[in-house]
Amino acid sequence: MEIFNTVTLSISGLLLLLVGTMRLTNPIKTFAKNSGITLQRDVNLLNEVRGVSSVQLFGGALILLGTIIPRLTFASFVVASLIFLGFAVGRSVSITIDGKPNKQIIQGLVFEMVLGVANVYGIVSS
């Protein structure tokens, strides 16, 4: 079980740390490359995108701390579950209301659901 926890938190944390950093530092390029989304150079839109990206980055850092500080493991699973399942629920609501997005976003949804469920399993098994 310890290996499962470490692997789940490591993948979750590294993914959020990487995506958060990329979107925070260069959101226009990152969204175009990873999601096929063209962001406009609108200061308000970019501010919102960078705000969410910062949450991803800091969430990833906290999740990774749970792999090396045992007292933070449970909190790391909770944070990872909230972030990944939060994105998955939001995307699912959007699909219901707005329609089906592109393949890259659907793949993101699948990864978010898998990692979200894996992190919930980490909570339950702790």
Closest residue by Cα to residue 117 from 4, 3, 2: 4
Is the full-model pTM beyond 0.85? yes
Domain positions in the chain are 2-125
Query: Given a cut of 90, is residue 1 above it in pLDDT?
Result: no
Q: How far apart are the first and last CA of the chain?
A: 9
Q: How confident is the model at residue 34 (pLDDT cuts 50, 70, 90)?
A: confident
| Percent of the chain at pLDDT exceeding 70 | 99
Backbone conformation region of residue 36, classed left if phi is above 0, alpha if psi is from -120 to 50, else beta: left
- For 60-74, how does the pLDDT look when each residue is reduced to its tens digit (9 = 90+)? 999 999 999 999 999
Residue 109 and residue 22: Cα distance in Å, rounded? Answer: 19
> What average pLDDT does the segment 87-104 reach?
97
Q: What length is written for the chain?
A: 126
pLDDT tens-digit map of 41-51: 999 999 999 99
Q: Which pLDDT score, from 0 to 100, does residue 81 have?
A: 98
